[in-house]
């Protein structure tokens, strides 16, 4: 362990519930670093008690709300863990339909994965939109793809076609484990090499471009406004 005397304080929250996210933000002290990592691939009809799809709430609305509540005067680095920009180029966010009832593909069993992909594109769009709004402050925000990582819990709810797809992917002997997946997010949170860098997306510690449908400022702003409405914040 790098810091054996570190004092750890654990806080539990259900990040699918915006009530819990708000309460978590109130409990936390001023932060130096926030890494948004939680994500799920839930069924489309898995709706939280707050009336939002669990995938949309956990993967996108939670970081939108938490990071906006935690951004303050103190210098800080925010990192949003997204996914593979190459694969995500094929699943643009429908900014008129965040709940994504349309256009999720012909195979019903794969639609939860398509919705997950859209929320992972939302992660990049949120990074760009938040960085613009934090421009001139000492808070930076960047996105990262951890790589295709084996042995995590991401596919635990998968059924049918999606389960078979996940098993096929995980069978690749070249896949790395969670330590490799944590590398780029942790580097963005701590390295002097990215002092002051903001509004960028990284894979393997390299800055990469994400699809044009994620960088379009008008689309990012429409996502921002609708997300703000869903979490009950002023746009």
Ligand X SMILES: NC(=O)c1ccc[n+]([C@@H]2O[C@H](COP(=O)([O-])OP(=O)(O)OC[C@H]3O[C@@H](n4cnc5c(N)ncnc54)[C@H](OP(=O)(O)O)[C@@H]3O)[C@@H](O)[C@H]2O)c1
Closer residue to ligand X, CB minimum distance, 84 or 226: 84
CA distance 33 to 100: 31
Q: Of 87, 213, 100, give the one whose Cα is nearest residue 147.
A: 87
Closer residue to ligand X, CB minimum distance, 135 or 209: 209
Q: H helices of 73-195, where?
A: 85-88, 111-133, 160-170, 178-190
CA distance 82 to 36: 9
Can you tell me which of 113, 146, 198, 230 binds ligand X, judged by CB under 6 A? 146
Closer residue to ligand X, CB minimum distance, 152 or 190: 152
Q: Does residue 15 interact with ligand X by CB under 6 A? A: yes
What's the sign of the alpha-carbon dihedral 44, 153, 36, 131? Answer: negative
Give SS3 for 113. helix
On the 0-12 / 13-18 / 19+ scale of CB atoms within 10 A, 170 is middle
Tell me how many degrees the CA angle 26-75-232 measures, rounded to the nearest 5.
40
Q: Does residue 208 interact with ligand X by CB under 6 A? A: no
Can you tell me which of 18, 21, 81, 131 binds ligand X, judged by CB under 6 A? 81
Least Å distance, CB 140 to ligand X, is 19
Least Å distance, CB 128 to ligand X, is 17
Can you tell me which of 58, 140, 198, 227 binds ligand X, judged by CB under 6 A? 58
Q: Does residue 83 interact with ligand X by CB under 6 A? A: yes
Size of the site for ligand X (CB under 6 A): 19
Closer residue to ligand X, CB minimum distance, 138 or 152: 152
Can you tell me which of 19, 101, 108, 152 binds ligand X, judged by CB under 6 A? 152
Least Å distance, CB 148 to ligand X, is 4
Closer residue to ligand X, CB minimum distance, 92 or 146: 146
Q: What DSSP character marks residue 47?
A: B
Q: How many Cα atoms sit within 13 Å of 229 on the Cβ side?
A: 6
Q: Does residue 71 interact with ligand X by CB under 6 A? A: no
Q: Of 88, 41, 89, 39, give the one whose Cα is nearest residue 63.
A: 39
**Active-site residue list:** 116
Pick out residues in 16-55 that bind ligand X (CB under 6 A).
16, 37-40
In contact, 61 and 98? CB cutoff 8 Å: no
Q: Does residue 162 interact with ligand X by CB under 6 A? A: no
């Amino acid at each position: 362990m790098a810091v054996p005397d570190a004092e750890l304080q654990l806080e539990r929250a259900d990040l699918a519930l915006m009530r819990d996210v708000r309460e978590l933000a109130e409990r936390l002290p001023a932060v130096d670093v926030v890494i948004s990592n939680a994500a799920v691939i839930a069924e489309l009809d898995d709706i939280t008690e707050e009336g939002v799809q669990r995938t949309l709430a956990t993967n996108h609305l939670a970081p939108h709300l938490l990071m906006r509540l935690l951004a303050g005067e103190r210098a800080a680095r925010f990192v949003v863990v997204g996914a593979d920009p190459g694969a995500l180029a094929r699943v643009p966010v429908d900014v008129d339909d965040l709940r994504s009832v349309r256009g999720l593909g012909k195979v019903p069993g794969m639609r939860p994965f398509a919705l997950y992909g859209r929320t992972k594109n939302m992660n990049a769009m949120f990074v760009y939109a938040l960085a613009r709004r934090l421009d001139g402050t000492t808070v930076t925000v960047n996105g990262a793809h951890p790589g295709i990582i084996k042995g995590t819990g991401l596919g635990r709810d998968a059924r049918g076609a999606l389960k078979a797809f996940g098993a096929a992917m995980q069978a690749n002997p070249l896949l790395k484990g969670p330590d490799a997946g944590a590398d780029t997010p942790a580097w963005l949170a701590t390295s002097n090499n990215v002092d002051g860098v903001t509004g960028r997306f990284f894979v393997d510690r390299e800055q990469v471009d994400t699809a044009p449908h994620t960088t379009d400022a008008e689309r990012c702003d429409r996502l921002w406004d609708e997300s703000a409405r869903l979490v009950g914040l002023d746009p």
